[in-house]
Chains A and B, each alone.
Chain A
Amino acid sequence: MSPTLSKLMLAIASALPALAIAQSNDTTPAQQEIPPMDHASHAGHDAKAAADKTSHADHAAMAGMDHSQHAANAEPASQNAAAPAMNHSEHTAPAKAAAETHDHAAMSGMDHSQHSANAQPSAQNAAAPAMDHSQHAAPAKASAEMSDHAAMPGMDHGSMAPMQGGNAPPGARSPDYSDGIGYGPMTGMDMADNAPHAMLLIDQLEAFHGNAANGQSWEVEGWYGNDVNKLWLRSEGERSGGRLEEGNLEAFWNRNVATFWSTQLGMRRDFGEGPARTWAAFGMQGLAPYWFELEATAYLGQSGHSALRLRAEYELLFTQRLILQPEVEVNFYGKKDPELGIGSGLSDAQFGLRLRYEIRREFAPYVGVQWTKRFGDSAEFARADGHSAFDRQIVAGFRIWY
């Protein structure tokens, strides 16, 4: 396992639960002391301001999620404690008192309050499939502060902290005007506000034509659930020469932890040529400022295998129906896996451009081009196999959802 990569994965492992906590609407006392953003520097330049506040741990994770925006300037997060709070009036309340005003009981379904991020989890700890926040030991307050905070700017860097995200300031108003009066016994209420929905998105169902190979590939996801919790399925793969080359299926518990972000926790099963692998998977997905759809998933398999997949997507509207979708995907592996032709470290990267026309929102044919490059040992394996390390493919297919 390359040292850099293992550090990176550790960083993500530590950052993910922190992200979840930092952005959930429940807050620990430690979090409340921390202003959501350093406004003084914010006025200057967002990306840099955000980067300034990014701690080492988080920075590593974020570099993967959005490498374009982060300078490698990491200062201790605790510096932010000095920054002015966004609440213009009430942030003088002592943190302890503020904590007491919090009505944890009212936060149905959102109870992360007991949990803190472990600032230095072992890889195993972070990867534990349960990943149940309630089972995390609460480490020192200081470390919780660090990692919570580290996670914050990474998620909402560049956004207007006072208007979005952040944590409730001490003394924030209670939303409860019930005077203890509950609902009556009347039946018949049928609000749709917590109803589950289901979606199937066949994002790519395409034929590709490249120098190295021709074939078909798919990229599909589906979910079922309500606003907070969803069962999330993902699958991708490709056929070539009438044979299934590679494919995988992932299943996650997807939890909406922030306005634009959710955590994912689950399993991945690979199939296709070579030995099948099974992975524990955990990640984040969401919408970053400037409308970038991001997805970062870390995988831990048997025999010390580990992997990291990062994806970013954007949509450029030429018209209301003609949409260009650039997509980039990068894969890292912690350990060489010769049976699957995978080297350690940065293994491969893909960049695709797909131009679709939405005949209906749900149905859009597209054409596109995709560049794939393998790196390091993965490239060597490919060449040894008679393939090129680089391929450009013309693709055509359909995007369909329901």
Chain B
Amino acid sequence: MTSIFIPPRPDLARRRFVQGLALGAAGAGLGWPRASLRAETPASAQPGILTGTDFALDIAETQVNFTGRTRPATTVNGGVPAPILRWREGTTVTLRVTNRMRTSTSIHWHGIILPADMDGVPGISFAGIDAGTTFTYRFPVRQSGTYWYHAHTRFQEQTGLYGAIVIDPAGNDRVHSDREHVVLLSDWTDDDPERIYARLKKQSNYYNFAQPTVGDFLRDARRSGLGNALAERKMWNEMRMNPTDLADVSGHTYTYLMNGTAPAGNWTGLFRRGERVRLRFVNGSSSTIFDVRIPGLKMTVVAADGQYVEPVTIDEFRIAAAETYDVIVEPQDDRAYTLFAQSIDRSGFARGTLAPQAGMQAEVPALDPRPWLSMGDMMGAMSMGGGHDMGGMDHAAMGHASMQHDGMAGMQHDMSAAKSAAPAPRVHHARTEYGPTVDMRVDTPRTNLDDPGIGLRGNGRRVLTYADLHTPGGAIDARAPGREIELHLTGNMERFIWSFDGLKFSDAAPVHFRYGERVRIVLVNDTMMTHPIHLHGMWSDLENPDGEFQVRKHTIIVQPAQRITYSVTADALGRWAYHCHLLYHMEAGMFREVVVS
């Protein structure tokens, strides 16, 4: 399937439908053992590659089998994932999307700069694609790199409607490689996602099978003393928050896929020793953040969210739902290497292999220990001791500082990464953050970007952080932002309510960007979960803690108790979606409409 070996080749414009070519290439490249899966695996087979400017995409409900159970999936041209679409910068693409299901559907082209009515969000860009109808998307391709597309209707993204987009640059690619593979990560469930969502509403920790137990407590008490064990739990318990709350939906129901292949299926990408291999990682998950590494290989990150970055060599990176990273690897030995992508809550992994020939495999590493959230993930800069301007605090804050020192006694080890030299910025909680929809607010968020995030701190590997990402040439629009819009990421985990500023989408007004303005978005994460926030239609120019341009992205992770800023040039007229890309958070209300006018 997607073990694609794609040599540079002429534009195959005007070829309407080129799946055969892709299938041929894929079939030759792989020999992926399907033995572990049952025979009736039509959907996970052969998404193939479609190249050119005219595409026909048929959306249907198709039976698939990733786990031994045959289940319905939302497929494009019969497959999960959907076909890889290969476009070329400077062309205009036409995509005829036909809905062969009984329900409405949609496709959103994630990260693609296009007219608002082509963006594919029902209720915002268009009315959706009704059953039995065809919608034709047509727009010029004005960028290059690795992107993806997915449904924006209910939970159809969870049931399989996602695929990669690769756009070749009009000129030479800055990144030289001898070979490339798309590595599309996703989370598959045999369950109906509507039921998953309903369960989360009824019992939000339904999928968390790593909650603190009596045994954990006794072990901690033995190891570090009863007092410390109590202190470590004190604040969590007082606040009714769970330090193991890392993912809403876990490996309990998910099978993590790499290019539509379960770990047992061992998707394999081929290479020849000494080649520069470009891996285009896409996280097409609905609700999973992955930590990716290839034991034995250094990875050089060359692009993030489709946009070139100054190359940085690392061992591991975190990729949230909807992010993409292009990395170069240069295997020097004729051996197999494991592509290992463990979920943030360490409840499972997607896995594949890079090998000189099909059928090889390397050792699959064990899952890392499941981390507990630290005080820094709850309190931000306040928990970091030094570097914080205590002068500005009243004794209310001081009182908490002393409390949390108690709480920190047992968890010093996790604090090292959470340091910031900058004075804590002032946060402005919205008045709507004081109601039933919000379970915590962070007064002193941290602002540093050099924290790889929960579970990756101090693990002995060189882990990518946003501080490592720099877009060559700086921002496209060098103007300083004319104003700031501060939005807080809020939630009530107990009741599974997610929102911005305590207001769910249904209760909120749109956010207005004035056409042509450069505006700074300030996001403060008042929750203990990691949220990938995606603005449609316009780039998000992430800034460092001093407000200077850092990297151009379309989806930005905001870590627990973190404050980040990015600037946006409001050059795209119309109405756009703006939301957390964890699907269940989005559907629960962590969503806004942005109007540029």
Q: B396, B428, B430: which contacts A84 (Cβ < 8 A)?
A: B396
- Which B residues are in CB contact (< 8 Å) with A159? 238-240
Q: A107, A161, A177: which contacts B512 (Cβ < 8 A)?
A: A177
**Which parts of A138-161 form the interface with B (CB within 8 Å)?**
158-161
Instruction: Let me know if B587 and A193 touch, CB within 8 A.
Output: yes
Q: A46, A175, A361: which contacts B508 (Cβ < 8 A)?
A: A175
Instruction: Let me know if B123 and A187 touch, CB within 8 A.
Output: yes
Q: B201, B436, B442: which contacts A258 (Cβ < 8 A)?
A: B436
Identify 6 new A-B residue pairs, CB closer than 8 A, beyond the known A184-B575, A290-B237, A291-B237.
A25-B431, A162-B441, A181-B597, A182-B509, A188-B127, A319-B213
Minimum Cβ distance to chain B for residue A266 (Å)? 19
Given A173-B486, A181-B510: A259 and B589 interface contact (C-beta under 8 Å):
no
* Nearest residue, chain A, Cβ from B125: A186
Minimum Cβ distance to chain B for residue A317 (Å)? 4
Instruction: Let me know if A192 and B511 touch, CB within 8 A.
Output: no
- Which A residues are in CB contact (< 8 Å) with B575? 184, 186
Q: B209, B426, B502, B597: which contacts A175 (Cβ < 8 A)?
A: B502
Instruction: Let me know if B436 and A181 touch, CB within 8 A.
Output: no
Given A163-B441, A164-B439: A88 and B392 interface contact (C-beta under 8 Å):
yes
- Which A residues are in CB contact (< 8 Å) with B428? 172-173
Minimum Cβ distance to chain B for residue A121 (Å)? 24
- Which B residues are in CB contact (< 8 Å) with A356? none
* Nearest residue, chain A, Cβ from B440: A163
8 A-B pairs closest in CB distance: A25-B435, A189-B123, A43-B399, A39-B396, A193-B589, A188-B122, A178-B509, A172-B431
Query: Does A347 touch B at the CB level, under 8 Å?
Result: no
Instruction: Let me know if A163 and B203 touch, CB within 8 A.
Output: no
Instruction: Let me know if B430 and A108 touch, CB within 8 A.
Output: no
Query: Does B212 touch A at the CB level, under 8 Å?
Result: yes
Q: A43, A164, A174, A189: which contacts B440 (Cβ < 8 A)?
A: A164
Number of A-B pairs, beta carbon distance below 8 Å: 231
The distance in angstroms between the C-alpha atoms of A239 and B426, with both chains bound, is: 61
Which segment, of B21-29, B174-182, B297-305, B489-497, faces chain A?
A: B489-497
Query: Does B480 touch A at the CB level, under 8 Å?
Result: no
Instruction: Let me know if A193 and B588 touch, CB within 8 A.
Output: yes
Minimum Cβ distance to chain B for residue A316 (Å)? 6
Instruction: Let me know if A160 and B235 touch, CB within 8 A.
Output: yes
5 A-B residue pairs with Cβ-Cβ distance under 8 Å, sorted by A, are A39-B400, A106-B432, A164-B441, A193-B504, A290-B237
- Which A residues are in CB contact (< 8 Å) with B235? 160
Instruction: Let me know if B436 and A24 touch, CB within 8 A.
Output: yes
Q: Residues 348-371 of chain A: 1 if any B CB is under 8 Å from the residue's CB, otherwise 0?
A: 000000000000010000000000
The distance in angstroms between the C-alpha atoms of A257 and B593, with both chains bound, is: 27
Instruction: Let me know if A199 and B213 touch, CB within 8 A.
Output: no
Query: Does A303 touch B at the CB level, under 8 Å?
Result: no
- Which A residues are in CB contact (< 8 Å) with B202? 197, 199, 401
* Nearest residue, chain A, Cβ from B117: A186
B interface vs A, CB < 8 Å? 104, 106, 122-128, 153-154, 197-199, 201-203, 206, 209-215, 235, 237-240, 378-379, 392-400, 402-403, 426, 428-443, 485-487, 492, 494-495, 497, 500-512, 514, 575, 587-589, 591, 593, 595, 597
Q: Residues 117-150 of chain A: 1 if any B CB is under 8 Å from the residue's CB, otherwise 0?
A: 0000000000000000000000000000000000
Query: Does A320 touch B at the CB level, under 8 Å?
Result: yes
**Which parts of A163-207 form the interface with B (CB within 8 Å)?**
163-168, 172-179, 181-184, 186-194, 197, 199
Instruction: Let me know if A191 and B500 touch, CB within 8 A.
Output: no
Instruction: Let me know if B506 and A194 touch, CB within 8 A.
Output: yes
Instruction: Let me know if A108 and B426 touch, CB within 8 A.
Output: no
Q: B154, B210, B429: which contacts A190 (Cβ < 8 A)?
A: B154
Query: Does A68 touch B at the CB level, under 8 Å?
Result: no
Main SS at interface, chain A: loop
Chain A: interface residue count, which band?
A: 35 or more
Query: Does A86 touch B at the CB level, under 8 Å?
Result: yes
- Which A residues are in CB contact (< 8 Å) with B492? 259
Instruction: Let me know if A40 and B399 touch, CB within 8 A.
Output: yes
Instruction: Let me know if B400 and A177 touch, CB within 8 A.
Output: no
- Which A residues are in CB contact (< 8 Å) with B597? 181
Instruction: Let me know if B443 and A162 touch, CB within 8 A.
Output: yes
Q: A167, A178, A188, A257: which contacts B104 (Cβ < 8 A)?
A: A188
Given A192-B588, A319-B213: A84 and B509 interface contact (C-beta under 8 Å):
no
The distance in angstroms between the C-alpha atoms of A197 and B124, with both chains bound, is: 25
Q: B238, B504, B593: which contacts A194 (Cβ < 8 A)?
A: B504
Instruction: Let me know if B502 and A320 touch, CB within 8 A.
Output: no
* Nearest residue, chain B, Cβ from A173: B428
* Nearest residue, chain A, Cβ from B430: A175
The distance in angstroms between the C-alpha atoms of A182 and B198, with both chains bound, is: 30
Minimum Cβ distance to chain A for residue B267 (Å)? 31
Q: B237, B501, B593: which contacts A183 (Cβ < 8 A)?
A: B593
Minimum Cβ distance to chain A for residue B519 (Å)? 10
Given A178-B509, A197-B201: A187 and B127 interface contact (C-beta under 8 Å):
yes
Instruction: Let me know if A162 and B197 touch, CB within 8 A.
Output: no
Given A181-B597, A191-B587, A317-B214: A175 and B239 interface contact (C-beta under 8 Å):
no
Q: B396, B511, B589: which contacts A162 (Cβ < 8 A)?
A: B396
- B212, B378, B436, B597: most-surrounded residue (chain A CB, <10 A): B436
- A89, A164, A257: most-surrounded residue (chain B CB, <10 A): A164
Query: Does A287 touch B at the CB level, under 8 Å?
Result: yes
- Which A residues are in CB contact (< 8 Å) with B104? 188, 190
Q: Residues 73-90 of chain A: 1 if any B CB is under 8 Å from the residue's CB, otherwise 0?
A: 000000000001110110
Given A163-B239, A174-B431, A177-B512: A190 and B400 interface contact (C-beta under 8 Å):
no
Query: Does A93 touch B at the CB level, under 8 Å?
Result: no
- Which B residues are in CB contact (< 8 Å) with A187? 123, 127
* Nearest residue, chain B, Cβ from A193: B589
Given A189-B123, A289-B238: A86 and B589 interface contact (C-beta under 8 Å):
no
Instruction: Let me know if A188 and B495 touch, CB within 8 A.
Output: no
Instruction: Let me know if B123 and A186 touch, CB within 8 A.
Output: yes
Minimum Cβ distance to chain B for residue A4 (Å)? 31
